[in-house]
Amino acid sequence: MMRQYELVERVKHYNPATDEALLNRAYVYAMQAHGTQKRASGDPFFAHPLEVAAILTDLHLDDATIVAAVLHDTVEDTEATLEEIRRLFGAEIGALVDGLTKLKRLDLVSKQAAQGENFRKLLLAVAADVRVLLVKLADRLHNMRTLQHMREDKRHRIAQETLDIYAPLAGRMGMQELREELEDLAFRNIEPEVYATITQRLTRLTAKSERVVETIAQVLTEKLGAQGITAEVSGRQKRPFSIWSKMERKSVAFEQLSDIFGFRVVVDTVQDCYAALGIVHTSWPMVPGRYKDYISTPKQNDYRSIHTTVIGPKSQRVELQIRTSAMDDIAEYGIAAHAHYKDLGKEAGKDLARREGEGSVHPRLAAESGAYLWLRRTIELLAEGDSPEEFLEHTKLELFQDQVFCFTPKGRLIALPRGATPIDFAYAVHTDVGNSAVGAKINGRMAPLLHELANGDEVEISRSDGASPPAAWESLVVTGKARAAIRRATRTAVRRQYAGLGRQILDRAFERAAKTFSEDKLRGALPRLARATTEDVFAAVGRGEMFSGDVVRAVYPDHRDERRPATPQGAMNGAGRLVRSSDQTMRLTFAGAEGGKERGTSEDRADAIPIRGLAGDLPVTFAPNGGAVPGDRIVGILTPGVGVTVYPIQSAALAAFDNEPERWLDVRWDTEASGSERFPARLALKSINEPGVFAQIAQVIADHDGNIDNISMKRRTQDFTDITIDLSVWDLQHLNAIIAELRGKRPVNSVERVNG
């Protein structure tokens, strides 16, 4: 276990101005508080917070963070209180310990909803002070290093949680070294046999390639030195998890990997980076498609470096990362790298760094970090009302993806996950831009909204004020922000549609009851309806969750519906067809057998609910077996949570709803003669079996501007075939014209319209 003086010396090594008395007080207080507590390994419990503090000293963190690490388990696991911590160590350290105490109860390996909710808590706690995250990551790293002392089932759960959440989060914060160690430790516990196999192969490969690596590093150093560039060149072997991930992703064997070893070239200045790149590319052939410049366009986690791959000495494929020493610190330690704050490019940042001590991270400086800005943007999703499961899903999308860099026409840089589309781009610019997007130009040329973006693309989004995102977009985008926004917009649009339908139903219900309808009166009845707003009532009525008659009676408790039939299920007329009515519908009389003509409501009744079609404002669908077209007498069936299904009034399928009169709606067509919307219909044909019959049928439909949506054929006998055709037509007149001409074709024995 680390001694008191050892902890102080570790901090003084990078921060000579450290408050030794503060560190000593924290050490003694925590040691006394934990007393004789033991860990699962049998070691003193106090060893754990000390090791967490030691990890943070490697990151050169400030005194407050080191002290918080030493104290982070005291409130949770001992008799210590937050009030005592604040009194003894100050408000700043007290706030850090408080944030860590809340996070201590996290159990992200529980059910999906709990996992998402706890991850919300993690990010919200971190939002106040990024140092909370740094301590939490160090805490997780030490726990992973000692995971072998836990039960096997618990080891697997904790390792999976680390791989899903903590390692990617460390990567997003730019802490690559910590991320890689977390990944490897998790991989070792999740796939121990695979880990052992890859480790053995790496050990053998390292023994064989040691001289090759040394040779390549020496040649690179000499070539750069000959041009006056001082460089530190080092070879580095990829870690087992990184190798396994690439094997899985590209479906290749270990022997097929050609980039297991990479080389890091660390130079003094940015100019030297590009000069070194020129020397490398003029000395050896470059591998096409393997060059990335993260200096001119840094990653969101502040990572900067030049990546390239060449066919180097001895025809070896060589991966190179060229960067300055400051960039190298950021690449390893990310948001915790003190060198980052020296390179902010702002005099205020430099002055503050000098005032606070060159060797420590200050939280106000951390706020300048691109990594922290990403974290804050992610936290903004918390205010958008997503469920915990959705939030976790969306955030994982952001954590796991690599990036492409695109530009707006004004030159603003937008970083997106690889595989992103112009839809993702639009939502990255602003949610309103995404919701109203209707088209895109990529590098000045029109392109589909689903086009995959590439590095350097300039994207211009075309917008329409009346547009809304299709629900199908949700499964096509790759960013969590876009997916969350589309899901919210879809829910809002559906709710608006149901509310519009519900308002129309209530207008007609109050009119039939000869009562005055107003939102003020409805608002007074909200407690009786158990709804918070009038919009909730409209939506509930539109979904079929609440009957309009109940709303009328809630507003006017003395109202009695005298129009309600004595037999709730309707009365039978002489033709054996049902006459249905309810508090939501006017009386509808169906076709009688004797005259062959429909009797009942007029199609131009003003109080019927207008139906336009699938593209209208109402959640409307058509009868699944036959559809309906303008010119048909129609009735609507309200299905809770689905909307209105429109049937021709003569449809046999309506008999299935005989016992549910409350679901029947009086509806009418609301289409223009010159409208551009088609409607579904179904035809049943019987034709002679001879060559060319289907071609003749298809030609008739095409000549009349019909559109075939689906077709099925079944041979009834050797001589006849049954054909069912789903087609789209403008109206009943259009459909009848097609039927008439089909009946005139010699091979067609009969044509009938199917009415479900």
Active-site residue, selected from the candidate residues 76, 393, 550, 741: 76
343 is catalytic: no
Closest CA to 555 of 602, 507, 510: 510
Between CA 427 and CA 413 the distance in angstroms is: 14
For residues 516 and 556, what is the distance between their CA atoms, to the nearest angstrom?
A: 10
Give which of 132, 146, 131 is closest to 47, Cα–Cα.
Answer: 146
Structure tokens of 600? Answer: 């009942």
Rounded-to-integer distance, Cα 363 and Cα 436, Å: 38
3-state secondary structure of 469: coil
Beta strand 720-729 with 634-639 is unpaired
Structure tokens at 536: 């909730």
Question: Residue 475 CB: number of other CB atoms within 10 A?
Answer: 8
| 3-class secondary-structure state, position 445 | strand
Rounded Cα distance between 67 and 360, Å, is 13
Output DSSP code: residue 166: I
Please, what sign has the CA dihedral across residues 17, 20, 21, 23?
positive
Which residue shows structure tokens 């030609």?
699
Buried b (16+ CB within 10 A) or exposed e, 514-551: eeebeeeebeebeeebebeebbbbbbbbbbbebbbbbb
**φ and ψ of 681, to 5 deg:** -145, 165
Report the distance separating Cα 106 and Cα 96, nearest Å.
16
Please state, in angstroms and rounded to a whole number, the distance separating the CA atoms of residues 121 and 245.
29
Strand duo 292-293 + 261-267: pairing: unpaired
Give the residue from 542, 536, 755, 532 showing the smallest Cα distance to 647. 755
Tokens describing residue 36: 């004789």
The catalytic position among 43, 77, 84, 660 is 77
Closest CA to 71 of 429, 541, 92, 58: 92
Q: How many CB atoms lie within 10 A of CB 560?
A: 9
Say how many C-beta atoms besides its own lie within 10 A of residue 378's C-beta.
20
DSSP code of residue 287? P
Specify the pairing of strand 667-669 against strand 609-611: parallel
Is 107 a catalytic site residue?
no
C-beta of residue 538 within 8 angstroms of C-beta of residue 506: yes
Tell me the helix, strand and coil percentages in the chain, rounded to 5: 50, 15, 30
Looking at the chain, the number of H-run helices and the number of E-run strands are: 30, 23
Could you give the residue numbers annotated as active site? 76-77
